[in-house]
Chains A and B, each alone.
Chain A
């Protein structure tokens, strides 16, 4: 490997203050000490440098990362910056939180090391719940306002569930934009796993219609200048010929090359979706050098398994060039056994067809549940 970027999902704890319906993770006790964090960060930078990567992305996630004390973040975020400088690597840090525990004491740190941004999760439904009770939506809005007051931009991961589908794409987007002043969204489709079962899954065609309608509204309303919705802009750019545009990890041809996740116990795996699946672990960073784990048999095995998971339908699909088979972890969980392919494959195909048709013809018709409202 010469050049390029590698992303690390750092999960210093799996503990969480919420119990959301769709969550894939178990909230086991345990967290990194500052000493362990230093060891992990040093290992990461040493590996990235030796492997020839030019840039590095650290995504701090959980569990809920804001459960960890300010002292912890005051230690690790600057430490990562210092290590990047000493190793000569370009560093980007980000954090994904439910935001409920946001406090202004972190304002300066987030501005200095996270580019003034924090990723959050929110949708207009009742699927998110605070552990031990409490109204998630109310608490989230308070936290969101605190962050906004501190000039922190909070994007959201937004789940498309039954309630959201019923509300319709246009109404959902307008409310998020107008009522909640949301300016960054990435939609998620609910995933079946050992934790969630299949009860939350939604119909693939309905999901496809929602995404298509959301895209058309987004394109009518001014695209990213209105709301930045991932991954609409990057897919459009790809259809328009920019094959080098950076796509979300869902659409990477081989995400095992570019993503590693480190768990609270030092376990190393592909991504957060596999956090609770011991069979997918490459090994433990406290026992084995990261470079050996990266080059090791387990990662190769998982990479080969991901490739082998692709069906002939997938290989024949002309949209393979866009999605590259989609997220392997979610495909694994959601695989529709009758069709032997990703449950939401048809949803994404509908979105791709809509984007393609919109770009080719300028057509902006929605599927018709409601009209765009400004």
Chain B
């Protein structure tokens, strides 16, 4: 196939089936995000008369272009501030003008009334939202972190409609927090028993962040590093969330090219001239919502029909020609051209003033593509360790309100209760307990020792077999564990962290002794339980268990649990194909462990795989575990001998 033919096919794949209208029908918002690209708002809202004119113009355009499908996106401002009856009326007006109409809405989800939600459901409006669970840069009007309120609304909305996907904007503050973001989104997704759809955008130098003084702007290199970080966490976690555009790029590099392109965001399609149009509350027309924010208007529907505005738009013509221009420059020889299409024209315009330039984020995506090509292309020697050093092992959700666990902390796979050194109580009857009825997944409550006391109030939750309470501090750990034992909770210990604390070693020694020899000890303690069983049964740890860090491992067991043998077989097949490489890598990273006397019972689970062993403290602890178990076994044997 010739290169030209190939390109034509690429273009065909991106040809729009219909048109997407980004409708910014109001200029009011109940949020105060620090990076808002809209800037200051006036509080205006479109009138019925103007909207009727919009419908008339848009209908005529669709009819004249024989367009089959209309994607009508309510944008803002904040579209949930529409009166529900007005929204209902607007949807009713739009519906007849195209054979197929899909409604979307991009909302901050700070306030959605039940009446409003009724209308959303009535018209099948697909919600999109935006999220910042880690830096508090999405704020409400009062300047408070908007995430708690977002979370509450998200949970409420998700009970009635499919959980909305969200956009995260990477800023200077969040540039090194990819792992934290991922962990929280993963937990949020488990709320709705689905993969949370997350889209990663860089902050735009526009609106409140225009100019260099805001401190929020990031460099392309920083954005590239963020993309690599979150991609690596995504792979490490078994691709547990839907991550745009990383997922599509990963699909491309691992062979699923068509699927990759299908999911690409508009900014990567390289041809948005005829697929998108933006209309605001004054009926100004621009290329899209972002171009409306950039005040780059083609015309106004009050003055001209839409068809005429678009036909005569110089910018539209420039965007149509942009690809050719870019190909004639450095993009023509770029191996990743097919994946980004030069990026969003507005990104180029914001930095260079010329929409026909390539996006300023070119360097960022190239960093990601290079890392992906190396990893997927060879799948050996590629490091999955992200910049932070330590892999993310836990999902985290913050506690925001005083003493309350988050309402969202529902059916998390793993839930982090923010350490609270003040020892505040987790409130009684927190909605966290509701998670038990929503999804049957393991839940790990990570608690600081001072919080454990209040778990008495969550008795039902901590006694549930799918829940473990994890501890990571040394001070007060014996009291905390005693309380958990009284509750019959399963306990998980972060040995590495506890041993790193002062007094951790002696505390764990006494815990091991009690665990093994105190008849009043009822709770399982992980990892002691597993280690002890292996020791007592003289059964070596399975290496496979410790390959669990590899992407995809664990899925076979899940599939088998679901009685999907075919699916499990496929996954096992994939693992086997890479097994030789994986095992060699695994052994290379744990050479010292293989010579350690404890290897049979720990299976090297505490080593980081960087060629070094765990540490002396952990080995000492395992020795203690073995000695105590041996002594108890001797005592029991002696007692049995006496009794004949």
Q: Flag B422-463 by CB within 8 Å of A: 1 or 0 each.
A: 000101110000001100000000000000011011011000
Q: Which of B457, B487, B519 is close to A304, meaning CB atoms less than 8 Å apart? A: B457
Complex: how many Å from CA A283 to CA B451? Answer: 29
Which chain A residues border B521 with CB–CB below 8 Å? 321
Once the chains bind, are A315 and B453 in contact (CB under 8 Å)?
Answer: yes
Which chain B residues border A257 with CB–CB below 8 Å? 459-460
Which chain B residues border A300 with CB–CB below 8 Å? 427-429
Which chain B residues border A356 with CB–CB below 8 Å? 519-520
A294 to chain B, nearest CB (A): 9
A302 to chain B, nearest CB (A): 9
Q: Which of B437, B457, B460, B482 is close to A303, meaning CB atoms less than 8 Å apart? A: B457
B486: CB under 8 A from chain A? Answer: yes
Once the chains bind, are A310 and B482 in contact (CB under 8 Å)?
Answer: no
Interface secondary structure of A, over-half rule: helix
B114: CB under 8 A from chain A? Answer: no
A188: CB under 8 A from chain B? Answer: no
With contact pairs A295-B429, A300-B429 given, residues A322 and B520 touching in the complex (Cβ less than 8 Å): yes
Q: List 29 A-B contacts (CB under 8 A).
A: A1-B460, A2-B436, A4-B460, A239-B520, A243-B488, A243-B522, A253-B486, A253-B487, A256-B428, A300-B429, A304-B428, A304-B457, A307-B453, A307-B456, A308-B425, A310-B453, A315-B479, A315-B480, A315-B483, A316-B479, A316-B482, A318-B482, A318-B514, A318-B518, A318-B520, A321-B485, A321-B520, A356-B520, A360-B519
B327 to chain A, nearest CB (A): 62
Once the chains bind, are A324 and B454 in contact (CB under 8 Å)?
Answer: no
B314: CB under 8 A from chain A? Answer: no
A141: CB under 8 A from chain B? Answer: no
Q: Flag A122-166 by CB within 8 Å of B: 1 or 0 each.
A: 000000000000000000000000000000000000000000000
- Which residues on A are within 8 Å of B, measured CB to CB? 1-2, 4, 239, 243, 253-254, 256-257, 295, 299-300, 303-304, 307-308, 310, 312, 315-322, 324, 356, 360
Complex: how many Å from CA A256 to CA B456? Answer: 11
For A1, A257, A308, which residue has the most chain B Cβ atoms within 10 angstroms? A257
Which chain B residues border A295 with CB–CB below 8 Å? 429
Complex: how many Å from CA A370 to CA B395? Answer: 62
Once the chains bind, are A319 and B460 in contact (CB under 8 Å)?
Answer: no
Once the chains bind, are B479 and A254 in contact (CB under 8 Å)?
Answer: no
Complex: how many Å from CA A119 to CA B427? Answer: 36
B440 to chain A, nearest CB (A): 13
B494: CB under 8 A from chain A? Answer: no
Once the chains bind, are A254 and B520 in contact (CB under 8 Å)?
Answer: no
In addition to A316-B482, A319-B520, 10 A-B residue pairs with Cβ atoms within 8 Å of each other are A2-B437, A257-B459, A300-B428, A304-B425, A304-B457, A312-B479, A316-B478, A318-B482, A318-B518, A320-B486
For B429, B453, B454, B486, which residue has the most chain A Cβ atoms within 10 angstroms? B486
Once the chains bind, are B456 and A253 in contact (CB under 8 Å)?
Answer: yes
For A256, A308, A318, A324, which residue has the most chain B Cβ atoms within 10 angstroms? A318
Residues of chain B from 508 to 555 with CB closer than 8 A to chain A in the complex: 514, 518-522
The 3 closest A-B pairs by CB, nearest first: A315-B479, A300-B428, A321-B486
Once the chains bind, are B482 and A315 in contact (CB under 8 Å)?
Answer: yes
Complex: how many Å from CA A315 to CA B481? Answer: 9
Number of A-B contacts (CB under 8 A): 69
Interface secondary structure of B, over-half rule: helix
Once the chains bind, are B486 and A324 in contact (CB under 8 Å)?
Answer: yes
Complex: how many Å from CA A307 to CA B487? Answer: 13
Interface size range of chain B in the complex: 20 to 34
Which chain B residues border A307 with CB–CB below 8 Å? 425, 453-454, 456-457
Task: Give the residue name and chain of the B residue nearest to A301 (CB).
Answer: B428
B188 to chain A, nearest CB (A): 24
- Which residues on B are within 8 Å of A, measured CB to CB? 425, 427-429, 436-437, 453-454, 456-457, 459-460, 478-480, 482-483, 485-488, 514, 518-522
Once the chains bind, are A303 and B519 in contact (CB under 8 Å)?
Answer: no
Q: Which of B425, B437, B459, B514 is close to A253, meaning CB atoms less than 8 Å apart? A: B459
Which chain A residues border B457 with CB–CB below 8 Å? 254, 303-304, 307
Once the chains bind, are B482 and A317 in contact (CB under 8 Å)?
Answer: yes
Complex: how many Å from CA A295 to CA B457? Answer: 13
Complex: how many Å from CA A4 to CA B460? Answer: 10
A268 to chain B, nearest CB (A): 16
Task: Give the residue name and chain of the A residue nearest to B485 (CB).
Answer: A321
With contact pairs A243-B522, A257-B459 given, residues A320 and B428 touching in the complex (Cβ less than 8 Å): no
Which chain A residues border B429 with CB–CB below 8 Å? 295, 300
Complex: how many Å from CA A4 to CA B459? Answer: 12
Complex: how many Å from CA A321 to CA B485? Answer: 6
B465 to chain A, nearest CB (A): 13
A349 to chain B, nearest CB (A): 12
B394 to chain A, nearest CB (A): 25
Complex: how many Å from CA A295 to CA B431? Answer: 12
Once the chains bind, are B520 and A299 in contact (CB under 8 Å)?
Answer: no
Complex: how many Å from CA A253 to CA B487? Answer: 7
Which chain A residues border B478 with CB–CB below 8 Å? 316
Which chain A residues border B479 with CB–CB below 8 Å? 312, 315-316
Task: Give the residue name and chain of the A residue nearest to B425 (CB).
Answer: A304
Complex: how many Å from CA A198 to CA B459? Answer: 33
B430 to chain A, nearest CB (A): 10
Which chain A residues border B483 with CB–CB below 8 Å? 315, 320
B434 to chain A, nearest CB (A): 10
For A253, A308, A312, A356, which residue has the most chain B Cβ atoms within 10 angstroms? A253
Complex: how many Å from CA A360 to CA B636? Answer: 12
Complex: how many Å from CA A322 to CA B436? Answer: 26
Task: Give the residue name and chain of the B residue nearest to A1 (CB).
Answer: B460
B36 to chain A, nearest CB (A): 37
Task: Give the residue name and chain of the A residue nearest to B480 (CB).
Answer: A315
Once the chains bind, are B482 and A320 in contact (CB under 8 Å)?
Answer: yes
Q: Which of A254, A315, A318 is close to B459, meaning CB atoms less than 8 Å apart? A: A254
A203 to chain B, nearest CB (A): 26
Task: Give the residue name and chain of the B residue nearest to A313 (CB).
Answer: B479
Task: Give the residue name and chain of the B residue nearest to A306 (CB).
Answer: B456
B185 to chain A, nearest CB (A): 29
Task: Give the residue name and chain of the B residue nearest to A320 (CB).
Answer: B486
Which chain A residues border B460 with CB–CB below 8 Å? 1, 4, 257
Complex: how many Å from CA A2 to CA B461? Answer: 11
Once the chains bind, are A304 and B454 in contact (CB under 8 Å)?
Answer: yes
A311 to chain B, nearest CB (A): 10
Complex: how many Å from CA A141 to CA B185? Answer: 70
B584 to chain A, nearest CB (A): 46
Which chain B residues border A4 with CB–CB below 8 Å? 460
Complex: how many Å from CA A318 to CA B488? Answer: 13
Which chain B residues border A303 with CB–CB below 8 Å? 428, 457
A48 to chain B, nearest CB (A): 16
Which chain A residues border B486 with CB–CB below 8 Å? 253, 320-321, 324
A334 to chain B, nearest CB (A): 20
Once the chains bind, are A321 and B522 in contact (CB under 8 Å)?
Answer: yes
A267 to chain B, nearest CB (A): 21
Once the chains bind, are B482 and A239 in contact (CB under 8 Å)?
Answer: no
Which chain A residues border B459 with CB–CB below 8 Å? 253-254, 257
Which chain B residues border A308 with CB–CB below 8 Å? 425, 453
Which chain A residues border B436 with CB–CB below 8 Å? 2
Complex: how many Å from CA A307 to CA B452? Answer: 11
A314 to chain B, nearest CB (A): 9
A118 to chain B, nearest CB (A): 31
A207 to chain B, nearest CB (A): 22
For B428, B453, B457, which residue has the most chain A Cβ atoms within 10 angstroms? B428
B91 to chain A, nearest CB (A): 36
Task: Give the residue name and chain of the A residue nearest to B433 (CB).
Answer: A1
Complex: how many Å from CA A315 to CA B155? Answer: 36
Complex: how many Å from CA A316 to CA B479? Answer: 5
Complex: how many Å from CA A300 to CA B458? Answer: 12
Complex: how many Å from CA A307 to CA B483? Answer: 11
Which chain B residues border A321 with CB–CB below 8 Å? 482, 485-486, 520-522
Once the chains bind, are B482 and A299 in contact (CB under 8 Å)?
Answer: no
Which chain B residues border A320 with CB–CB below 8 Å? 482-483, 485-486
Task: Give the residue name and chain of the A residue nearest to B454 (CB).
Answer: A307
Task: Give the residue name and chain of the B residue nearest to A302 (CB).
Answer: B428
